[in-house]
Amino acid sequence: MDRPVHVQRIAFPDRGPSARPLDRRSYTAAFQVDTSGAARRSPEQWLRSTFEDAPRRWRWFLLVGWTALTCRLQPRRSPTRVLGWQVASAADDRAEIVVHAWVGLTSRLAVTIDEGTLTLSSIVDFTGPTARVARVLWALTVPLHERVLPHLLAQAVGRAATP
């Protein structure tokens, strides 16, 4: 990583496929980074780089955390999975992965690329009879989520930097 990579938190996108009516049960966050100095990648490749190409200690940290949240992870590496999360959609400008947890939590991470800018959006919904427990668990997780996600994204962009 030759140049510093700055990831900033932005307002959650109010347009596009990630935008949808939100209720008080949902959590949203969005982070943005300039990728103009990085090798060209598809949104799915950015998701894979962010999570699957992260250093081993970070991958283990994520897997342990997601397991603690009771996420139903599948085989970690496959064409239809990104570190255990299901690839819900993949297009030239946007990709989304999703995971469901036994505790009543569904999490989505979406990458959108627009003219050298990458936006990573996070949506967490709480449903079912255990939604209250899921909200409490997630509230404990949010501070880590909001620090780790931009860090991993910055590392991915740094690894993709072109000389």
* CATH code: domain of residue 85: 3.30.530
Q: Identify whether 14 is part of a domain.
A: no
Q: Which amino acid is at 127?
A: T
Q: What's the pTM? A: 0.90
- Reply yes or no on whether the pLDDT at 107 is more than 80: yes
Provide the residue range defining the domain that includes 73: 24-157
Helix (H, G, I), strand (E, B) or coil at 112: strand
Indicate the pLDDT class of residue 2, thresholds 50, 70 and 90. low
Q: Identify whether 49 is part of a domain.
A: yes
Q: Identify whether 8 is part of a domain.
A: no
Burial track 65-103 (b if 16+ CB lie within 10 A, e otherwise): ebeebbbebeeeeeeebbbbbbbeebeeebbbbbbbbeb
**Number of domains into which the chain is organized:** 1
Q: How does pLDDT run across 123-163, given as a tens digit for each residue?
A: 999 988 999 999 999 999 999 999 999 999 999 999 998 76
- The predicted pLDDT at position 1 comes to 43
Q: Identify whether 90 is part of a domain.
A: yes
Strand partners, 112: 94, 119
- Reply yes or no on whether the pLDDT at 91 is more than 70: yes
Q: How does pLDDT run across 28-82, given as a tens digit for each residue?
A: 999 999 998 888 999 999 999 999 999 999 999 999 999 999 999 987 678 999 9
Q: Identify whether 81 is part of a domain.
A: yes
